[in-house]
Amino acid sequence: MRAFAEREIRPHVREWDASEHFPIELLPTLARLGLMGVTVPAEYGGSGLGYIPYVIAIEELARVDGSVALVVAAHNSLCTNHILLAGSEQQKKKYLAPLAQGEKLGCWSLTEPGAGSDAGGTRTTARFEGNAWVLNGSKTFTTNSHYADICVAMAVTDKTKGKHGISAFIVEKGTPGFRPGKTEDKLGMRASNTGEIVFEDCRIPRDNCLGDEGQGFIDSLRVLDGGRISIAALSVGVAQGAFEASLKHSREREQFGRPIASFQAIRFKLADMATEIDAARLLTWRAAALATQGKRVTRESSIAKLFASEVAVRAAGEAVQIHGGYGFIKDYPVEKFYRDVKLCTIGEGTSEIQRLVIARESLGR
Ligand SMILES: Cc1cc2nc3c(=O)[nH]c(=O)nc-3n(C[C@H](O)[C@H](O)[C@H](O)COP(=O)(O)OP(=O)(O)OC[C@H]3O[C@@H](n4cnc5c(N)ncnc54)[C@H](O)[C@@H]3O)c2cc1C
């Protein structure tokens, strides 16, 4: 993974970020490496690996480019994993192989303009009409929105039942009434694609309801348990990239006649970064190991995601500081780590929401 990221991604990182280029040309290679269906069992065309190889892969991609890691994480952990967790045998057979083999790219739409942290406030509707589901509404902030071939989207099927009235649906690109809307112009992760998804009287076959009717929101929470492990891994990768750049710069940069690495103030920053990144990685691997064993990881994935993302934001900030003025310009990699990493404390549940989850899991309510 490291050799691949260094060879095929590193040379393009700055240009892709500047031009917001979505690296679609990488997908066949990512697929050949088994990265498009890492945890999908071989019987459905996947790599059949557990979460540990998956988090190592995400970390290694993010160490070089957070955007590529985010594209892969959204495809694997959100879209593909929702179908794996909740799909019927027929849905798994139909959709998992093309997703896992990289023939199709996936996206997952839960968030709406009025339903972010409070995703249960979903307004997009799906009504059953003449043997088909008809979807209306719009989703926001969907990763891979404009490039995805398969979208898993949540919509209200019974508004009297609150969170138990939200269902999940599989929508294929090209379905009339289904289209991407506005593309977001972002602070970071600029080579990943984030945008709106619009449903206008979008008719999809009855069989494309994913999981039991009314179970879509509950299944989404299970999907996010896995997804948060990948955001933790992504955080560790960005932090590791920022740390390594800081080691290099502090050895090379001389002030007052000696390398800045000889100053205790810089050494202490590097020591804190090393310690926190190791701790974040171990929390991520613990959650990954438990997920591989099929255990419930709500608490462990939230802890890993909260800690790793906040560590990574700190590490990227210290990396800029260690670089001084050079940390503020685009000739050096750390300003991009600093911009990219902020997403990790927001996406798949903000740090505040992780704290609510961890407290609830600890208190039992
Ligand atoms: C680049 C990017 C990619 C994304 N990809 C996807 C995707 O693929 N699919 C998808 O469905 N979504 C995606 N999201 C959406 C993301 O998950 C949401 O942005 C996130 O859950 C926060 O929701 P929000 O933006 O509406 O913020 P809000 O919910 O409006 O939160 C605003 C602030 O209020 C705080 N807050 C809210 N409620 C509480 C509370 N109860 N207690 C304490 N504090 C609270 C939050 O922590 C935050 O600080 C993406 C977002 C971004 C930026």
Residue-wise pLDDT for 259-293, tens only, equals 999 999 999 999 999 999 999 999 999 999 999 99
Angle between helix 216-252 and helix 264-292 axes, rounded to 10 deg? 150
93-102 in b/e form (b: 16+ CB < 10 A) is ebbbbbbbbb
What residue type is assigned to position 189 of the chain? M
Q: For residue 168, how far is its CA from the centre of ligand 1 (angstroms)?
A: 19
What residue type is assigned to position 1 of the chain? M
Q: Are 283 and 303 in contact (CB under 8 A)?
A: yes
Task: Please state the atom number of ligand 1 nearest to the C-alpha of residue 119.
Answer: 21
CA-closest residue to ligand 1 atom 14: 141
Question: Can you tell me the distance from the alpha carbon of 240 to that of 336, in angstroms, rounded to the nearest whole number?
Answer: 13
Q: For residue 116, how far is its CA from the centre of ligand 1 (angstroms)?
A: 5
Is the beta carbon of 246 within 6 A of some atom in ligand 1? no
CA-closest residue to ligand 1 atom 43: 352
Question: Can you tell me the distance from the alpha carbon of 307 to that of 345, in angstroms, rounded to the nearest whole number?
Answer: 9
Confidence of residue 255 (pLDDT cuts 50, 70, 90): very high
Q: For residue 60, how far is its CA from the centre of ligand 1 (angstroms)?
A: 25
pLDDT at 230 over 90: yes
Q: For residue 24, how far is its CA from the centre of ligand 1 (angstroms)?
A: 26
Is the beta carbon of 109 within 6 A of some atom in ligand 1? yes
Position 151 scores a pLDDT of 98
Is the beta carbon of 194 within 6 A of some atom in ligand 1? yes
CA 298 centroid distance within chain: 16
Handedness of CA 30, 31, 36, 37 (dihedral sign): negative
Residue from 82, 112, 123, 141 whose mutation best tests the ligand 1 pocket (most atoms within 8 A of CB): 141
Is the beta carbon of 217 within 6 A of some atom in ligand 1? no
pLDDT at 157 over 90: yes
- Express as a percent the part of the chain with pLDDT over 90: 100
List the one residue out of 106, 103, 97, 45 whose CA is nearest residue 76.
106
Is the beta carbon of 349 within 6 A of some atom in ligand 1? yes
CA angle 278, 49, 145 (to 5 degrees): 85
Residues 6+ apart with CB under 8 A from 139: 109, 110, 111, 112, 124, 153, 196, 197, 198
Model's pTM, two decimal places? 0.98
Angle between helix 298-323 and helix 334-341 axes, rounded to 10 deg? 150
Q: Is 52 exposed, middle or buried (0-12, 13-18, 19+ CB in 10 A)?
A: middle
Tokens standing for residue 265? 């103030």
Is the beta carbon of 153 within 6 A of some atom in ligand 1? no
Is the beta carbon of 57 within 6 A of some atom in ligand 1? no
CA-closest residue to ligand 1 atom 29: 117
Question: Can you tell me the distance from the alpha carbon of 297 to that of 102, in angstroms, rounded to the nearest whole number?
Answer: 27
CA angle 47, 240, 52 (to 5 degrees): 25
Strands 150-156 and 106-109: parallel
As a whole number, mean pLDDT of residues 4-25 equals: 97
168-225, pLDDT tens digit by residue? 999 999 999 999 999 999 999 999 999 999 999 999 999 999 999 999 999 999 999 9
Is the beta carbon of 144 within 6 A of some atom in ligand 1? no
Q: Backbone phi, then psi, for 3, in 5-degree steps?
A: -60, -40
List the one residue out of 237, 255, 79 whose CA is nearest residue 169.
79
Position 365 scores a pLDDT of 82
Q: Which residues are catalytic?
A: 348
Question: Can you tell me the distance from the alpha carbon of 238 to that of 219, in angstroms, rounded to the nearest whole number?
Answer: 29
Confidence of residue 19 (pLDDT cuts 50, 70, 90): very high
As a whole number, mean pLDDT of residues 55-65 equals: 98
Is the beta carbon of 223 within 6 A of some atom in ligand 1? no
Q: For residue 352, how far is its CA from the centre of ligand 1 (angstroms)?
A: 10
As a whole number, mean pLDDT of residues 327-336 equals: 98
pLDDT at 99 over 90: yes
Q: For residue 108, how far is its CA from the centre of ligand 1 (angstroms)?
A: 14
Confidence of residue 145 (pLDDT cuts 50, 70, 90): very high
Confidence of residue 116 (pLDDT cuts 50, 70, 90): very high
Position 323 scores a pLDDT of 98
Q: What is the mean pLDDT of the chain?
A: 98
Position 184 scores a pLDDT of 98
Task: Please state the atom number of ligand 1 nearest to the C-alpha of residue 348.
Answer: 17
Q: For residue 348, how far is its CA from the centre of ligand 1 (angstroms)?
A: 7
